[in-house]
Amino acid sequence: MEVKDGKKEYYQVAYLLATEDVIEREFGAYKDIQDNYPKYVLSMDRFDFSRDGIIHQNMIDFLLER
């Protein structure tokens, strides 16, 4: 979790989302968090795995935006 300028954001990081088990594990990290703050899964994958309001983003793209 990061708090910047009073705004909370959650980050989960994985190298690759290579199998459905890995995808479920990484996105499942947020299952008990019921607030409306942005939630991200970052990985080296280029394919967009976003689901259930959780944003998947390529790690390189994320770092270049910052």
In this structure, the strands spanning 55-58 and 39-43 are: parallel
Q: Can you tell me whether residue 60 is helix, strand or coil?
A: helix
pLDDT of 1 above 80? no
Q: How many domains does the chain contain in total?
A: 1
Give the separation between CA 43 and CA 61, rounded to whole angstroms: 10
Query: Is residue 57 predicted with pLDDT exceeding 90?
Result: yes
**Banded model confidence at residue 66, pLDDT cuts 50, 70, 90:** confident
* pLDDT the model gives residue 52: 94
What does the pLDDT read at residue 5?
81
The domain in which residue 45 lies consists of 2-65
Question: CA 13, 63, 3, 45 torsion: positive or negative?
Answer: negative
Write out pLDDT tens, residues 17-56. Answer: 999 999 999 999 999 999 999 999 999 999 999 999 999 9
